[in-house]
Structure 1
């Protein structure tokens, strides 16, 4: 029955939208935590020592109440996240924390921007983004005289659902 099919589709789309909204709120929370840590560090006398102490002390206070998402290692990621993406309005709601963590590992800002744009345009999952980064898509495109062919191979390697989503 068409009505049932339509309603199922509405339910599935709403669930996906809700999941993305929650994921993005988590990304924003991590950004704000990173910003606050960074601002506090800038007031310290000896930044390197103070930063390490600050994060360790914060983790000891936060982990018992909020869990391992606020360990020293994670707090360092949040600080790096803020430093890499200092403009909150530039964050993309289509990307989740796992994708942003992968992007943080890229030293080249142009390369990072390329993968952000392609992830959003092609609705890449975290796994698809990881696969494209490790297959050096950015470098292959820079070296290629036939960029359309390289991008066609990327589209061919994505699941059918993702090809039609772009």
Structure 2
């Protein structure tokens, strides 16, 4: 071994063990908080003196235990964590028994059969969990941080929550990115698509876009505008509504969008034209021109957007910029027309459909379960 190899091996060992230490800490924090939630629920249902503490239980408990990170609001979150994931109990008793106090096991584990569990709080547990269920909960328990769990437990629908668990296992997003995916209705968007597998793959790429096609969605949802009669809205009204909800609009657009201009005036020949919305994408280093239409995509809409993009390429593009991208937002994509209209173009033009109201929730359970089996 020479000095170079020595230094490499020390760094390699440090990195490996440091990662394992972080993982172990995450698992222990998750376990502590789940157990805390379990104990609280068990006390609320069976505590001999529970009436004495009433609604002030969590405040009094926080003052009594004086544990950093377990304030009254955090104790409430622990309780919510237990209610959202009662099936973790089966995992703990099978895989993490050595991490539990002996008296705890004697109190809640069983007497007759491994599938029976004592205690009123644990009546929420389902005894018919399959092997796949246990493997899934094992995966998320070991690979999902507690800070991610704090976002997941806010989701009441179990299928929807399972979808985002799958997304975490597949993409390892930051907590901020997970929250953005939830806020921008990724679950509903995938459910709306004709091919959920392809749509889910697109979502994974868009978490960190690598090329221009990754920054565009096939469907955009503007339900946050709360427009009562969407079929009557005019283009200028839609534009104004989006600007009035700019933060939510940018969140819906995705990672990296920075607002630059509204009704951007450009001079082509001796006539002025106005681009509805202009953004700059900080990750892909390009301008994004958005044209809004309150109707089905038409040939002239695409032709107009082509003109804007060519203008930007010739007059606005800086040496360190990538070519601009155009997004035409319409109520109906008219895919056949779009295919012919952009077939001979070297410009990045995308036609996407927007909806002002959410679609009916689609069944995603079979897709999610199938994907989880392949992890």
Structure 1 position 74 matched with structure 2 position 74: yes
- Unmatched 5+ stretches in structure 2: 92-136, 210-374
Q: Which moved more, 1:35-44 or 1:89-98?
A: 89-98
Give the distance between the partners of 2:54 and 2:7, measured in 1 at CA.
56
Say which structure is richer in helix.
Answer: 1
Query: Which structure has the bigger radius of gyration?
Result: 2
* Structure 1 residue 28 displacement after superposition: 0.3
Judged with a 3 Å threshold, the aligned counterparts in structure 2 of structure 1 residues 134 and 56 are, in CA distance, closer, same or farther, namely same
Q: TM-score, normalised by structure 2?
A: 0.38
Tell whether the 8 Å contact from 2:37 to 2:81 is kept in structure 1 after alignment.
yes
Structure 1 position 111 matched with structure 2 position 129: no
Q: 2:64 aligns with which of 61, 65, 68?
A: 61
Say which structure is richer in strand.
Answer: 2
- Unmatched 5+ stretches in structure 1: 161-165
Tell whether the 8 Å contact from 1:55 to 1:76 is kept in structure 2 after alignment.
yes
Structure 1 position 137 matched with structure 2 position 186: yes
Judged with a 3 Å threshold, the aligned counterparts in structure 2 of structure 1 residues 16 and 122 are, in CA distance, closer, same or farther, namely same
Structure 1 position 38 matched with structure 2 position 87: no
Tell whether the 8 Å contact from 1:44 to 1:50 is kept in structure 2 after alignment.
no
Q: TM-score, normalised by structure 1?
A: 0.80
Q: 1:13 aligns with which of 16, 37, 41?
A: 16
* 1:154 corresponds to: 203
Runs of 4+ deviating beyond 3 Å: 1-10, 47-51
The number of aligned residues is 157
Judged with a 3 Å threshold, the aligned counterparts in structure 2 of structure 1 residues 98 and 139 are, in CA distance, closer, same or farther, namely same
After superposition, the C-alpha distances for 1:43-90 in whole angstroms (9 at most, x for unaligned) are 269x89955222121012123xx23x1211111111111111112223
